[in-house]
C-alpha cells in the first residue's frame, strides 16, 4: 500500500527553521495538489530553546527539545536541519541518514 502522507521533522527553530515552517504552511495546498500529491504533515519540531516555539497551540503539541526524538521516530520521512554551523548539525544529519531518513539542510 502506498503511503499517503509525508511526515516532516524540523531541527532548529531559529530564523531559517521558522521560515521553512511558514513556507510549508503558506504553500501547503499548492504543494499537495500541484507538486507532490501527498499530504504534508509537520510531525515534530525540535530546538534546545523552548522560547523558540512558534505562536499557536498546535506547535506545543509537536515540540521537543530532543533532536534524537525526531531522528529516531519511525514515522518521520524527512528531516529538515536548520541548526546551522558544523556541529551538532553534521552529526545529526549523519544520524538521520543512517536511520534511513531523507535530509534537507540549510
What residues does each domain of the chain span? 5-105
In the CATH hierarchy, which top-level class contains the domain 5-105? alpha beta
Q: Which of 6, 10, 8 is nearest to 37 (CA)?
A: 6
Residue by residue, pLDDT tens for the chain (106 residues) are: 566 899 999 999 999 999 999 999 999 888 888 777 788 999 999 999 877 776 666 777 899 999 999 999 999 999 999 998 999 999 999 999 999 999 999 8
Amino acid at each position: 500500500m502506498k503511503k499517503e502522507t509525508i511526515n516532516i521533522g524540523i531541527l532548529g527553530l531559529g530564523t531559517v527553521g521558522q521560515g521553512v515552517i511558514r513556507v510549508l504552511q503558506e504553500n501547503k495546498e499548492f504543494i499537495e495538489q500541484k507538486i507532490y500529491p501527498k499530504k504534508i504533515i509537520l510531525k515534530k519540531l525540535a530546538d534546545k530553546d523552548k522560547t523558540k516555539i512558534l505562536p499557536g497551540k498546535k506547535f506545543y503539541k509537536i515540540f521537543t527539545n530532543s533532536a534524537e526524538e525526531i531522528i529516531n521516530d519511525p514515522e518521520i520521512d524527512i528531516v529538515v536541519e536548520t541548526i546551522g554551523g558544523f556541529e551538532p548539525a553534521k552529526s545529526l544529519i549523519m544520524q538521520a541518514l543512517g536511520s534511513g531518513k531523507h535530509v534537507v539542510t540549510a
